[in-house]
Structure 1
């Protein structure tokens, strides 16, 4: 049966794992082929990560838009993280790596760009040091985003390799403001637990797929560092969860007290 599957299914399988591994695993049911099994697992994880990356930051976007507040997410963190994603995307595209090994970076770059603009939109004017005569922060951000995207796909490949190396300190720098902000506030605000958890799972899978299919030490080091830093954020979410509940309960109590006072006024 497996040797006579419809051609669309066969073509899809061959495009994912290659003709040799498709024949071994599907047509001949040779499940002891360790090399092809590792490749199939890597491809499956890669497809899952790309699909997950397409919606990973949507909960964060919804949290900010529904609350009409950007309390929690750090503007500095998102600017640096977006730049790191964009560099890795450009580096992978220009080195012709398989799309399943980096595709989520495309979606994460786009979603992070939206979140960054939302943080700027909902930030207090004084936090952006805006004055009546100063340019619109949103317009400045849009120009910077467009210029950065153009530059990444035009710089020489050797310069791009240096930029990929720079994603290591960028990754570190992108998470430290968020970690510091959470520590100072003893709360995580509108930071999404789903997003942090998904990033940890994605980094774990990306470490495996990078080892199996790419073998680029720069890319691998970036995912390992991101895994460690996202784990720190996860610990903070867990540690400050009770504090968030206490803060919200206190606010509710104040609102109820104010209503009672108004009713007797």
Structure 2
């Protein structure tokens, strides 16, 4: 009974049946092809699960401070473009959910942050317009009206979008002399997730464009992490008074 339940849990979500036989029944833990599949699937689902809350610390920090000080709305828009591109491209190519599922949850949380930046900046109407426009564009991209060539171009634009979005945020941090309401927890999780996604993208999709996007994303997230550490003890209020 227990063996049947375990097989139902692992096959086919984590392992194909022949790998279940090798790793679980045969206890052949040195079977590298199957071991790579198991590690990749496990990491993929862990990233998806973690994405449910990865930006919640950032959202709560903004709500608690009633301020989005230090957050660049332009950076958020470009990050949203990159996340949307990954999600649409993955759905279009029928990639397994474990290879891209975090994009869905990151998209929702990033949209919320974008609205909060506008709201606490005194532009609630602009924030609502942003929400409506984004939902309209997303619906169009996911529909059959969007040709595959546009989806491919959207994914190809991810790398410059990620680079520019992170550089905009890094420039805002440097200009302000602090990282404002930027959440260290969120930044750390994004950095760790993008690093893990390099492996899972190669293993699960075999798509070099997806893998390269995460390599670039990891490097850019590393820059923000470095700034968070550098400005760790710099108070925001002190700079406001300076």
| TM-score, with length taken from structure 1 | 0.86
Name the counterpart of 2:207.
216
Name the counterpart of 1:206.
197
Name the counterpart of 1:194.
185
Question: Helix, strand or coil: the match of 2:231?
Answer: helix
Aligned CA RMSD, in angstroms, stands at 1.9
Tell me how far apart the structure 2 counterparts of residues 219 and 62 of structure 1 sit (CA, whole Å): 30
Q: For 1:1-265, list aligned pairs within 5 A.
A: 5-15=2-12, 16-125=14-123, 136-154=125-143, 155-244=146-235, 247=238
Unmatched 5+ stretches in structure 2: none
Quickly say closer, same or farther: Cα 1:141–1:159, change in 2 above 3 A. Answer: same
CA contact (8 A) 1:87 1:152 kept: no
CA contact (8 A) 1:42 1:208 kept: yes
Tell me how far apart the structure 1 counterparts of residues 36 and 4 of structure 2 sit (CA, whole Å): 24
Give the count of matched residue pairs: 239
Moved over 6 A (4+): none
Larger radius of gyration: 1
Name the counterpart of 1:258.
none
- The Cα offsets for residues 85-135 of structure 1, whole Å up to 9 and x where unpaired, read as 01110110111111111110000000001110011100145xx9xxxxxxx
| TM-score, with length taken from structure 2 | 0.93
